[in-house]
Chains A and B, each alone.
Chain A
Amino acid sequence: MVQNLHRLKESPSQTAGPYIHIGATPNHSGIEIYGGDLGQTLVGPNAKGERIIVTGHVIDGGGAPLRDALVEIWQADAAGLYNSPGEKRGQADPSFSGWGRQPTDDVTGQYRFETIKPGRAPFADGRLMAPHITFWIVARGINLGLHTRMYFSDEAAANAECPVLARIEHPDRIATLIGARSEENGHSVYVFDIRLQGEQETIFFDI
Chain B
Amino acid sequence: MTDKGSFYQRDRGWHPPPLTPQYKTSVLRSPQRALLSLENTISEMTGPVFGHGMLGEYDNDLIRNWAKTGDPVGPRIIVYGKVLDENGHGVPGALLEFWQANAGGRYRHKKELYIAALDPNFGGCGRTITDDQGRYWMRTIRPGPYPWPNRVNDWRPAHIHFSIFGQAFAQRLITQMYFEGDPMIWQCPIVMGIPDRSAVETLVAALDRSNSIHMDALAYKFDIVLRGRRSTLFENRTEGN
Contacts and interface: CB of A to CB of B under 8 A. Distances in A.
Classify chain A: how many residues form its interface, as a range. 35 or more
B33 A201 contact: yes
Contacts of A204: 31, 33, 35-36
A207 B193 CA distance: 22
A168 interface: yes
Interface of A: 6-24, 26, 29-31, 33-35, 38, 60-62, 64, 66, 68, 72, 74-76, 82-89, 97-99, 106, 121-124, 129, 132, 134, 136, 138-147, 149, 164, 167-168, 196-197, 201-207
**Secondary structure type dominating chain A contacts:** loop
A172 to B, nearest CB: 13
A85 B49 CA distance: 8
Interface in B23-57: 23, 25-33, 35-50, 56
B16 A134 contact: no
Main secondary structure of the interface of B (DSSP, over half): loop
A203 B35 CA distance: 7
B38 A205 contact: yes
A64 B29 CA distance: 10
Given A11-B225, A12-B199, A33-B123, A142 B44 contact: no
A82 B23 contact: no
A114 B207 CA distance: 45
Given A9-B11, A19-B109, A86 B168 contact: yes
Nearest to A26: B125
Contact of A206 (B10, B25, B124, B176): B10
Contact of A196 (B12, B31, B109): B31
A33 B29 contact: no
Given A9-B11, A9-B225, A20-B161, A124 B41 contact: yes
Contacts of A21: 109
B114 to A, nearest CB: 12
Nearest to B20: A143
Nearest to A123: B41
Interface stretch (B71-79, B82-90, B212-220): B82-90
Nearest to B107: A19
A10 B124 contact: no
Nearest to A197: B32
A30 B118 CA distance: 14
Contacts of B47: 74, 84, 86, 99
